[in-house]
Amino acid sequence: MRILVTGFEPFGGHAMNPSMEVVTALPTSERLIRRVLPVIYADAGRIIRDLITAERPDAVLSLGLCGRSPSILLERIAINLNDDTCGDNTGDSAHGRLIDPAGPVGYWSTLPLVAIHEALRERGIAVAFSSHAGTYVCNHVFYVVRHMIEQQGGDQPCGFVHLPPVGSSGLSLGTLVDAVRTCLGVIERHGARK
Ligand code: PCA
């Protein structure tokens, strides 16, 4: 199984983004396609769609930073909405903009979230479920990828995991890398969803 794993560049007031650090620190492997995305609505969606078309991964795990979270958040739902007050890294501020006016209101994650939750807890890593990934660029990428796979009738598991800032709940960068490797291992073991 080849898995596409993405992170994001720093944004807002954050000097670093652990999702970028983790994606960069993951070991190079033929089974892994790694990419850091810009925190720009239009570019992030286009880049990840083009990557999926070119690389045809068997699963997609997207990562981002949730600055307020004390733990890793397993996102359950992507919403068809861009809405923020701070703007993306180009200053594009979306106020109630639909991601795809023809698309459904939301999509469930198709990652094996319960198994991932269990695996992370077994490793003593702080983790929680989250109802949805917000309405900023992380949610945008989550929705765009789920929508693309759904429209193509694909069976690739895909979803989004938010990481806390390094240091939250005693989570070092090394532990976050270990956590993401654990997620990847569970996704591999579960295989395609149909
Ligand atoms: N977190 C932001 C965007 C990029 C990132 O890492 C979010 O939660 O939408």
Q: Measured in angstroms, how far is the CA atom of residue 64 from the centroid of ligand 1?
A: 5
Q: Measured in angstroms, how far is the CA atom of residue 137 from the centroid of ligand 1?
A: 6
Q: Which of 66, 147, 158, 162 is flagged as catalytic?
A: 162
User: What is the distance between the alpha carbons of residues 4 and 72, in angstroms, rounded to a whole number?
Assistant: 19
* Residue found under tokens 């006016």: 101
- In the three-class reduction of DSSP (H, G, I as helix; E, B as strand; rest coil), residue 149 is classed as helix
Which of 5, 8, 89, 99 to probe ligand 1 with, by most ligand atoms within 8 A of CB?
Answer: 8
Atom of ligand 1 nearest to the CA of 162: 8
Q: What is the pTM of this model?
A: 0.97
How many CB atoms are located within 10 Å of the residue 77 CB? Answer: 19
- In the three-class reduction of DSSP (H, G, I as helix; E, B as strand; rest coil), residue 183 is classed as helix
Tokens of 71: 């733990």
How deeply is 40 buried, as exposed, middle or buried, from its count of CB atoms within 10 A (0-12, 13-18, 19+)?
A: buried
CA quadruple 98, 34, 117, 182: dihedral, nearest 10: 180
User: What is the distance between the alpha carbons of residues 94 and 55, in angstroms, rounded to a whole number?
Assistant: 30
Residue 17 CB less than 6 A away from ligand 1 = yes
Give, rounded to a whole angstrom, the gap between the first and last alpha carbons of the chain. Answer: 15
Is 138 labeled as catalytic in the residue annotation? yes
User: What is the distance between the alpha carbons of residues 93 and 22, in angstroms, rounded to a whole number?
Assistant: 27
Contact yes or no for 149/142 (Cβ under 8 A): no
pLDDT digit string (tens) for the chain, length 194 residues: 999 999 999 999 999 999 999 999 999 899 999 999 999 999 999 999 999 999 999 999 999 999 999 999 999 999 999 999 999 999 999 999 999 999 999 999 999 999 999 999 999 999 999 999 999 999 999 999 999 999 999 999 999 999 999 999 889 999 999 999 999 999 999 986 65
Residue 163 CB less than 6 A away from ligand 1 = no
Is 75 labeled as catalytic in the residue annotation? yes
